[in-house]
Amino acid sequence: MTARDEAVGATGGPGGPGGPGGPGVDTEGGGGTAPALAVAQSGRLGRVVLLVLLALAVLVQLVVLYAPSGPGGPLFPHADKVAHVLVFLAPTALALLAGLRSAVVVAVLAGHAVLSEVVQAAVLPTRAGDPADVLADLVGVALGVLVAHLLRRWGVGGSVPVGS
């Protein structure tokens, strides 16, 4: 008999309190611990998916912020500002939905907003730092927090640890 079998017997398994099967033991195949396990596993899978999407969003962010500028003008007026908002909104929302601490996520991404413009101005000869881009990045972070909050209210993603 395994430790799990002993625990089930002590807490309501065969011969334990609650009669055959007892509470939490699925003897009929119609519910019990199996669905709870499936929900827990789907929660872990969902977090893994969110973390993979987060990694992809960060990769896109790095390319957008640090790759040399291509020839030609923007697709529409202020397209670069829209891009800045989006490349900070997506990682923020995904990180929060994956359950990372909100204070850490916001601090890291807000710091990266400022740092990326300093690097563009000081190190990358084909790029220029722009304080308006920092503002667009910070708007993206704020919108990411809002999007994650709204999606969690609607039951999407994980929860952010309390006190974060």
What is the per-residue pLDDT across 10-35, written as a single tens digit (0 to 9) for each? 444 444 444 444 444 444 444 555 55
Average confidence score pLDDT of the chain: 79
| Res 4 pLDDT > 70 | no
Q: Which pLDDT does position 121 carry in this prediction?
A: 93
Q: Which pLDDT does position 32 carry in this prediction?
A: 53
Q: Which pLDDT does position 10 carry in this prediction?
A: 44
Q: Per-residue b/e over 38-67, b at no fewer than 16 CB within 10 Å?
A: eeeeeeeebbeebbebbeebbeebeeebee
| Total-model pTM | 0.70
Ranges 25-34, 63-72, 86-95: which has the least confidence = 25-34
Which range has the top average pLDDT, 38-47, 75-84, 120-129, 142-151? 142-151
* DSSP letters for the chain: --HHHHHHHHHTSTTSTTSSS-TT--SSSSSTHHHHHHHHHHHHHHHHHHHHHHHHHHHHHHHHHHSPPPSS--SSTTHHHHHHHHHHHHHHHHHHHTT--HHHHHHHHHHHHHHHHHHHHHT-TT----HHHHHHHHHHHHHHHHHHHHHHHTT-S--PPTT-
| 160 closest CA partner among 108, 94, 87, 113 | 94
| Res 158 pLDDT > 90 | no
| Res 86 pLDDT > 80 | yes
Q: Per-residue b/e over 120-145, b at no fewer than 16 CB within 10 Å?
A: beeebeebebeeebbebbbbbbbbbb
More confident residue, 77 or 12: 77
